[in-house]
Amino acid sequence: MLAGTCVYVLISLCGGKDSILASRQLQEQKRILTGKTDEIQRIHDRLNLECTALEKDADVIAAFARKLGFVQDGEKLVKINGLITAADYVYDAGRVSKAVEPFFLPEWFCKLLGVVAFFLVYGLELARDLRVWLFERRRAGAVKGIPVYDLPQI
């Protein structure tokens, strides 16, 4: 029973749901998601700064209006083919990251391996005991009477 329990505990510790393997996978996923969060925060800060500039700075508003094709009185507009216009520019809002379930061995599988280890060790011990009982008994022969040992007398 001890062998089966030890196998179950070791397999659960190394490959079970709350194992070292699953923990490492979750830590790696946390590192990736933290990096993505930092990237999204930088995008947010840049867009927030651009939004504030578009709300309050007249020069930025005028430059953005020129990108859209608007002109002030007395200005002339020259269009050059092949340049990216403001309508073609797409803001990058980051990439979708989906959490992935970590790989682990199911609990029933860990228990099954523990039971198999128990029966394997039990069968080996039973075979050893049967071998001793069948073959060792024949070799020894029957001893009749009380065994006497030659011990020095004091």
Cα–Cα separations (whole angstroms), residue 24 to 19, 21, 30, 36: 9, 5, 10, 19
Query: Cβ distance 110 to 15 under 8 Å?
Result: yes
Q: What is the pLDDT, as a whole number, of residue 75?
A: 75
Q: What is the pLDDT, as a whole number, of residue 61?
A: 82
- Neighbouring CB atoms inside 10 A of 104's CB total 19
More confident residue, 78 or 109: 109
| Angle value at C-alpha 84, between 89 and 45, nearest 5 degrees | 35
Give the model's confidence band at 92: pLDDT under 50 very low, under 70 low, under 90 confident, else very high. Answer: low
More confident residue, 137 or 64: 64
121 pLDDT above the threshold of 70? yes
Rg, C-alpha atoms of the chain: 40
